[in-house]
Structure 1
Amino acid sequence: MDAVRSNLGGTKVLLCGVIQYANLVGVAIGYTIASSISMKAVRRAGCFHVHGHGDPCRSSSTPYMILFGLVQILFSQIPDFDEIWWLSIVAAVMSFTYSSIGLSLGIVQTISNGGFMGSLTSISFGAGVSSTQKVWHTLQAFGDIAFAYSFSNILIEIQDTIKAPPPSESKVMQKATCVSVATTTIFYMLCGCMGYAAFGDNAPDNLLTGFGFYEPFWLLDVANVAIVVHLVGAYQVFCQPIFAFVERRAAAAWPDSAFISRELRVGPFALSLFRLTWRSSFVCVTTVVAMLLPFFGDVVGLLGAVSFWPLTVYFPVEMYIKHRRVPRGSTRWICLQTLSVTCLLVSIAAAAGSIADVIDALKVYRPFSG
């Protein structure tokens, strides 16, 4: 919001804030859902190993969401970004761990199949998939891809916590962004492509929790535990901007309130009654909403679709044009606007596909039973 305020001003500041913070709340809900799926997968992997693959091994994800929420209430008492750097490192290591396991299992399965499954035109018609459903699934996939780059929502907030030069914050973030985007793209492309190559039309939503793989069960457990640990850290990284925004506003509105300003240091935690109350309430709300909507793939696609164009493309492009004084009608201006419009169309299409899938899921879903 500060960047948009400095470069664009006006109603765009409010629009940016609404989209950014709504998306961050959605990310918190999505991560709660994803963590419960992985915890549930650990239990199912053990059940399959003991009772065989014929046993449905059903269980509810609700207790796992509650457990995740309790852990987040604890970690949410850490005041700011600069005090959770170690949590980010742990999360990054966990991300590499489960991505590498998923990729390796996909390669082994493909070799064992004797070749690639599936086709370049994706899932085939028939077998419960109509041409309309294929279109919706394809569009939702754009939203899933866009969600994978949700780092743009908190890029500036992270940069704001980097110590001043040497080197400058912008140089550090330029290098970090290039390395991280390249690494993420390579891993996601390899995991996605090898997963489809391994299972073709029968590829599950998530290779590690959808049970395309059953063995070795202990390796799947390691991967899913890594996912949960990663999401514990990722939840905090994405929620810190929300926490900071609300607490800044509260401190400005009631500067003399002891309820808001008084803190008690306990190890890495700086406890305050206001932070304890409001952050705990926030975690509880996101947990309850996650229990009501446990459709991770559909929720992720919708979140990615809604936030991708404005936060990743539109505002950065407009700020660049304003900051660099790009002449209207110039070749560069036309190229930037073409990029923006193209990404807008992708976002609209992805949102339509995700909404259609959410509606289909809601037709058969019973709250708190998944």
Structure 2
Amino acid sequence: MAVEDEGEETRRPLLRDTELTGTLWTALAHIITGVIGSGVLSLAWSMAQLGWIAGPFSILLFAFFNLISASILCDIHIFSNNTTTVVNRSYLQAVNTFLGSKNGFVCGCLVYFSIFKTGVVYTITSAISLRAIRQSNCYHEEGHAAACEFENKYYMLLFGIVQIVASQIPNIFHTRWLSIIAAVMSFTYSFLGMGLGLAQVIGQREIKGNISGIQATNSTQKVWLVAQALGDIAFAYNFSLILLEIQNTLKSPPSQKVTMKKASSIAISTTSIFYLLCGGFGYAAFGDSTPGNLLTGFGFYEPYWLIDFGNACIVLHLVGGYQIYSQTLFVNVERWYVEKFPESAFATDIQSLKVLSLPEFRVNPLRLCFRTAYVILTMGVAMLFPYFNEVLAFAGSIIFWPLTIYFPVEMYILQKKVVAWSKKWIVLRLYSTFCLLVTIFTLAGSIEGLIAKRFG
């Protein structure tokens, strides 16, 4: 935890104003890169499980939850009292500052697990999209009934190799260009998904789907599918962990808090519109036949080149998204190692390398070994559980309540000194409890789905 005295805090803003260059637009790029990810591809399937009323309502409800969380987190970036000033440069540091080391330890486990599972999900999704490009060309050449089935693991290996190289980027300050490219790709394939769904609806002159969603074989199965659908939606809005890191890159004036709140509101509103349109058009186009992944489930076959382009955009986006999330874990682990072993040459021996005509870059042995091992581990887990919708639901549900709801609410209560059993305190507790029940429900459904896919 970084604690600074008043004199140091007085000097710090001058240094930060000259060193930090982040703006509203770079913050938007980072957030959209983190929010519009693989989750958007499952929203048509989620809408199909929930139906025309519960589907849109659930998307808007989760958007509301994340808007509240984002507003709270923006306020806790800097904490001051009469004796100290704490600049919370990460989500985990904020929990340590407000709630103490015990909560910080629990939060740390959840944060690192969340970052890791996001890497696993992005590896799975990228491999599916790479495979879909090959399948699309196969179907185009040999017909829609052709046996165009290919293994995912080779594409996971290819994505992993790319990430091993990209992971050598020192920290999130150096990923601005990657985030901008990834954000553009996010909008591109979201527009493609919406456009293809709309074109399908216009072509068939029919809006498919119904109020109750897809009819399952029995009521128990329907309950599990609804739970998985809610878990997929929760994953689609998962970005709380990176908000403070993004806020820490912003220059001022205006204040970082003002800029970040504006960026969060714009980003969540924009992505919610995309989610509603993408999920709605997909469900309207396919009804009970809605695929689990809108661009790789082959509800669409033609134009094949457009399907290829959309999936290529997904891969490019997830290359950047993987880094936006993973850089938090990388930097924290490496900082811990340096503090623990300050004399270690393994962490400080930096060498410059020149590869062909690429710019010269520096290699840190610790960075090279740890980040490479991390990428290999995410790749291994993805190969073990390559199930898109079920893994998304598990990933979204297991950390939704603690990281998006519980810790922000508890920090808000302490920061604002909310009196116990006051109206505001009761509302916050009811809000947190409701979200906990939703999380338990979605987690149970996702675990049932994983077990059924893996061992069924």
TM class, shorter-length: over 0.9
Query: Paired residue for 2:49?
Result: none
d(CA) in 2 for partners of 1:7, 1:363: 43
TM (normalized to structure 1)? 0.95
Of the three residues 21, 36, 51, the one matched with 2:127 is 36
Shift of 1:57: 0.2
d(CA) in 1 for partners of 2:438, 2:333: 32
Number of corresponding residues: 360
Shift of 1:133: 1.5
d(CA) in 2 for partners of 1:297, 1:341: 26
Of the three residues 197, 201, 206, the one matched with 1:110 is 201
Higher mean displacement: 5-14 or 245-254:
5-14
Shift of 1:279: 0.5
Matched, 1:185 2:234: no
Matched, 1:354 2:442: no
Shift of 1:135: 1.0
Query: Paired residue for 2:189?
Result: 98
Matched, 1:302 2:394: yes
Structure 2 stretches lacking a partner, 5+ long: 1-91, 354-358
Q: What are the within-5 Å matches in structure 2 for residues 223-302 of structure 1?
A: 223-266=310-353, 267=359, 269-302=361-394
Q: Secondary structure at the match of 1:270?
A: strand
Query: Paired residue for 1:53?
Result: 144
Q: What are the within-5 Å matches in structure 2 for residues 100-249 of structure 1?
A: 100-125=191-216, 129-163=217-251, 165-249=252-336
Deviations 1:322-362 (A, max 9, x none): 10111111111111111111111111100011011101100
Q: Report % sequence identity.
A: 48
Matched, 1:331 2:419: no
d(CA) in 1 for partners of 2:417, 2:380: 47
Query: Paired residue for 2:46?
Result: none
Query: Paired residue for 1:13?
Result: 104
Shift of 1:264: 2.8
Query: Paired residue for 2:455?
Result: 363
Cα RMSD (Å): 1.1
Shift of 1:314: 0.6
Shift of 1:64: 0.4
Does the Cα contact within 8 Å between 1:45 and 1:220 map onto a contact in 2? yes
Does the Cα contact within 8 Å between 1:38 and 1:224 map onto a contact in 2? yes
Deviations 1:23-81 (A, max 9, x none): 11000001000000000000000000000011120110111000000000000000000
Q: Secondary structure at the match of 2:362?
A: strand
d(CA) in 1 for partners of 2:322, 2:194: 24
TM (normalized to structure 2)? 0.77
d(CA) in 2 for partners of 1:10, 1:76: 29
Query: Paired residue for 1:368?
Result: none
Shift of 1:131: 2.2
Mark the CA change 1:31 to 1:317 in structure 2 (over 3 Å): closer, same or farther.
same
Structure 1 stretches lacking a partner, 5+ long: 365-370
Q: Secondary structure at the match of 1:215?
A: coil
Shift of 1:265: 4.3
One-letter code aligned to 1:131: S
d(CA) in 1 for partners of 2:361, 2:129: 28
d(CA) in 2 for partners of 1:241, 1:177: 19
Deviations 1:191-217 (A, max 9, x none): 111111110010000110000101111
d(CA) in 2 for partners of 1:56, 1:170: 54
One-letter code aligned to 2:419: P
Does the Cα contact within 8 Å between 1:78 and 1:268 map onto a contact in 2? no
